[in-house]
């Protein structure tokens, strides 16, 4: 299996990845094909695919923020069972992020991720791929060290229609597993930068951000 970076929508591997995304994720979570052009060309956005026998069988997108020394996992896709794709992607991503942090003269503080909460919503079948089942994914991410950030969470739809998307938790995997809280300002600033690309914010998101801005700390709770 190969870990290959995609930097152009002209890369034939990208078409495979985008089709896989449409099979796995609900429509509001998938950016339209042509809108990927600029993100893929952005050096700060890292999109990698797992290629097995010429086929894209998994993918992950993530980014590293030097000023905060934190990362964000945008998504992880496991497209086939029995190949160890999840561990393959997680290990390569970890090594890449550790190298980026080291080049910044630091050890990675931690990584954000939006994680589906099947106890809030059971609407997602994820293309029938069992490793993508939200109950399975939640437990796997808990084993990796992710913790739930303690505040009610919604995010703007990636379809750009101003709709709020619920059924997820914003989580954080701290480099120090004993870390029990984060500065609320870090979470607030991160969300504002991360979703700056979507100017049409739903009122639910604006209300959430306003309440977050009034807090000093947010707790990290078990998944």
Residue-level pLDDT, tens digit, the chain, 223 residues:
999 999 999 999 999 999 999 988 878 778 889 999 999 999 999 999 999 999 999 999 999 999 999 999 999 999 998 999 999 999 999 999 999 999 999 999 999 999 988 887 656 555 566 667 778 888 989 999 999 999 999 999 888 888 888 889 999 999 999 999 999 999 999 999 999 988 899 999 999 999 999 999 999 999 8
Contact 144, 7 (CB under 8 A): no
The Cα 166–Cα 157 span in angstroms is 9
Residue whose token pair is 């979570």: 29
Assigned CATH topology for domain 2-221: Aminopeptidase (3.40.630)
DSSP code of residue 36? G
């Amino acid at each position: 299996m190969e870990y290959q970076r995609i930097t152009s929508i002209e890369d034939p591997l990208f078409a495979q990845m985008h089709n896989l995304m449409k099979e796995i994720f609900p429509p509001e979570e998938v950016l339209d094909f042509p809108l990927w052009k600029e993100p893929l060309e952005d050096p700060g956005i890292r999109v990698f695919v797992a290629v097995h026998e010429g086929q894209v069988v998994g993918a992950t997108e993530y980014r590293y923020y030097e000023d905060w020394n934190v990362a964000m996992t945008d998504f992880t896709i496991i497209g086939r069972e029995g190949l160890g794709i999840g561990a393959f992607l997680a290990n390569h991503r970890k090594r890449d992020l550790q190298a980026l942090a080291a080049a910044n003269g630091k050890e990675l503080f931690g990584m954000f991720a939006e994680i589906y909460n099947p106890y809030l919503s059971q609407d997602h079948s994820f293309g029938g791929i069992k490793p993508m089942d939200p109950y399975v994914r939640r437990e796997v991410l808990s084993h990796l060290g992710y913790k739930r950030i303690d505040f009610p969470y919604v995010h703007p739809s990636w379809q750009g229609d101003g709709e709020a998307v619920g059924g997820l938790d914003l989580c954080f995997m701290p480099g120090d597993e004993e870390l029990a809280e984060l500065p609320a300002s870090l979470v607030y600033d991160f969300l504002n930068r991360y979703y700056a690309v979507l100017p049409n914010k739903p009122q639910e998101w604006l209300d959430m951000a306003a309440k977050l801005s009034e807090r000093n700390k947010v707790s990290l709770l078990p998944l």
